[in-house]
Amino acid sequence: MRLVFHIVLYFFLVLIAVILLFPYGFMINRGLMSNSWILDSYMHYWTDGLNFSNYVQAFSDGGYGTPLVYSVIVCAIVFVSVPLSSMIAAYAFAKLEWIGRNFMFAFMMLTALLPGIVTQVPLYVLYNNLGMTNTLLPLFLPGIFFAGAMNVFLTRQFLMSVPREMEESAKLDGANALVRCFVIAAPMCAPILIYLGVSAFIASWGDYLTPSMYNNSVDAPYTLAYALYDMTGRETNSTHPEWIFAAATITSLVPTILFTVFQKYLIEGIQTAGLSS
Amino acid sequence: MMTRAKTGAAAAVVRAPRGRLKKRLKASVTGWLFILPMTFGICVFTLLPIIQSLYYSFFDYNLVSRFDFVGFGNYADIFSGDPEMGKVIVNTLLFALVNIPVTLVGSYLLALLLNVNVKGIKVFRVLYYLPCTMPAIVSGIVWSYIMRYNVETPGLFNQFLAALGLPMSHFFYADNFGAVASIVLMNLWSLGGGTIIWLAQFKNIPKQLYEAAEIDGASAMRRFFSITLPMSTPMIFYNLITNFIVTLQFNGTLTFAPNNGLGNGQATYMFGLKIYHEAFRRSNMGYACALAWVLVVIVGLVTVLLFKTNKWVQYDN
């Protein structure tokens, strides 16, 4: 009876996994197809061979090479700046005593209530006036100062559960607040900071929408996700679809690998974010 | 002597709080220095844009040549005058009414399946989440191929339908409600995202409840309806609200639907996309801001309504 239950259970677990992963497999297969096979009038699922040269061509002739570099730059910046800005603010809320702290905390949490769609147009006007449209700046500039109420809130919660002793003794030794924040407290907050950095990286990596708002010149630098969004409408789409799928595979593999490697931190972060609301 | 001692003591009493105040003020400087970047960020990238957005919503503003005050003209246009709004509202409501229940129930069922305690279940939890790690633009491209409608080169789903002897479907390319239904179908592949939060909620349910139920001889079905489901209601409520807010702002059709995401016959034209379209394709900045504020009011009203009718939510203490 128990064995039958297990067999049925595993059958369904595997079946659902196969169904859920079949688009991923479709993408990988198409990225490896030869040009004639992918342009065949019958849409194949399986590739006719392992044409890894597609990857080389996509990132050279296909024009995905430069966007890849820009993506890495933008994501590297948010990977550092989002945990950094969240840590500074959270430290002030959790460990420092200052006049106006409760008010500022409530003020920050209020910003989380308003749907982001409201600020889209004025932000475009702002970047346009500052000459920042058609640059990469709008993709990471806000996060350097403030990376969202939820991120600061989560870091603050984490900080409040961290034991006081080490900080108290550092304070007695004359360490100033900045040293205490980054040398003593930050290493203890590693799990939440890793969560913030990796999830900011993944979000920026896949963001095609923000660049699509601020880019209106063909000469402007753009990221890999935007390149995919933009190039699906271009000529390469009809002549070399395998390059698109090769680039799409790379674009997907990066967040997939990051998730698999950091799953412990990411799952915990997503769960605390969900439960604490 | 007496007086001097007295004044000395009084001075000490006065000095002590003044010293504390000084210390507090000094500490406050550090605190404010720490919070300065965040305050600057909120003011420049959130607060100021919110005020500007409200201001622009009363103007006919195209970014370059026009900046004319029109009073409530933009708002009047939304409710009467804009011929696209009818379609947009119907599509958005339809999408919300089908997508939210399907997503909630689907991910909940998946979480129940992933909550069983068997060997290797952790691997399946990761595998089920992997489709969510695929960036939206990539899944848009992939799904436009899978659901392609073209009699000569049918997509995978249509090959499948043809093999079963069924008529081909237009999916995203339909000019009716089938297009929205296809989006819901596609979203089934990202159900794994919701399961993570459900699983956390399941973990928070006290084990003693199940042990007690087992002693009382309650069946698995009974345990689910008397313990698991009631104990999940706070999370169901939270997911309902966040799903609703996200669904109303959805503009993901940009990545897969024809005609810049509008779909054939505007079949996938929804509120979030409408705002994007007015702002960044037609440069109707004032009108786009008015639309965004209407969305905020709708979200606010529905959230209040949900909170007023949340008697079914069981908050444990």
Chain-centre distance for alpha carbon B298: 14
A115 and A26 within one domain: no
**pLDDT value at position A274?**
79
Non-local CB neighbours of A40 within 8 Å, separated by 6+ positions: none
Domain of residue A42 covers 1-51
- Identity of the residue in A24, A96, A107 whose CB atom sits nearest the CB atom of B34: A96
Give me the total of CB pairs closer than 8 Å, taking one residue from chain A and one from chain B: 253
Tally of domains in chain A: 2
Tell me if A195 is assigned to some domain: yes
pLDDT digits (tens, 9 = 90+) for A113-135: 888 889 999 999 999 999 999 99
Dist CA A9 CA A15 (whole Å): 10
Give mean pLDDT, residues A8-32. Answer: 96
Lowest-confidence pick of A178-182, A270-274, B77-81: A270-274
Distance from B176 to chain A by nearest Cα, in Å? 24
Dist CA A217 CA A211 (whole Å): 11
The answer to whether the CB atoms of B142 and A26 lie below 8 A apart is yes
- Identity of the residue in A119, A146, A152 whose CB atom sits nearest the CB atom of B50: A119
**pLDDT value at position A88?**
97
Domain annotation for chain B: domains and CATH numbers: 20-56 (no CATH), 74-138+182-312 (1.10.3720.10)
Q: The CATH number of the domain where A137 resides is what? A: 1.10.3720.10
CB-based contact B152:A275 (threshold 8 Å)? no
Alpha helices in A130-223 (DSSP H): 141-145, 149-160, 165-172, 177-179, 186-188, 190-205, 209-214
- Identity of the residue in B45, B127, B154 whose CB atom sits nearest the CB atom of A123: B45
- Identity of the residue in B39, B131, B146 whose CB atom sits nearest the CB atom of A21: B131
- Identity of the residue in B24, B136, B296 whose CB atom sits nearest the CB atom of A118: B296
Distance from B227 to chain A by nearest Cα, in Å? 18
Give A-chain residues touching B153 at CB under 8 angstroms.
Answer: 41-43
Low-confidence ranges of chain B (pLDDT < 70): 1-18, 316-317
- Mutation target to probe the B interface, by most B beta carbons within 10 A, among A121, A153, A217 is A121
Dist CA A97 CA B28 (whole Å): 6
A73 and A23 within one domain: no
Confidence tier at A237 by pLDDT (50, 70, 90): low
**pLDDT value at position A263?**
92
Distance from A7 to chain B by nearest Cα, in Å? 11
A142 and A19 within one domain: no
Chain-centre distance for alpha carbon B158: 31
**pLDDT value at position B14?**
47
Tell me if A57 is assigned to some domain: no
Q: Residue B67: which H helix or E strand, with range?
A: strand B67-69
Distance from B168 to chain A by nearest Cα, in Å? 15
Give A-chain residues touching B136 at CB under 8 angstroms.
Answer: 206, 208
A226 and A102 within one domain: yes
Dist CA B148 CA A62 (whole Å): 24
Dist CA B216 CA B214 (whole Å): 5
Closest chain A CA to residue B141: A232
A179 and A157 within one domain: yes
Give mean pLDDT, residues A160-186. Answer: 88
The answer to whether the CB atoms of A104 and B153 lie below 8 A apart is no
pLDDT digits (tens, 9 = 90+) for A45-94: 999 999 999 999 999 988 899 999 999 999 999 999 999 999 999 999 99
A144 and A32 within one domain: no
The answer to whether the CB atoms of B118 and A6 lie below 8 A apart is yes
Average pLDDT, chain A: 92
A125 and A72 within one domain: yes
A79 and A36 within one domain: no
A135 and A32 within one domain: no
Tell me if A201 is assigned to some domain: yes
A238 and A129 within one domain: yes
Non-local CB neighbours of A158 within 8 Å, separated by 6+ positions: A90, A189, A191, A192
Give A-chain residues touching B251 at CB under 8 angstroms.
Answer: 209
A83 and A47 within one domain: no
ipTM score assigned to the predicted complex: 0.91
**pLDDT value at position B39?**
96
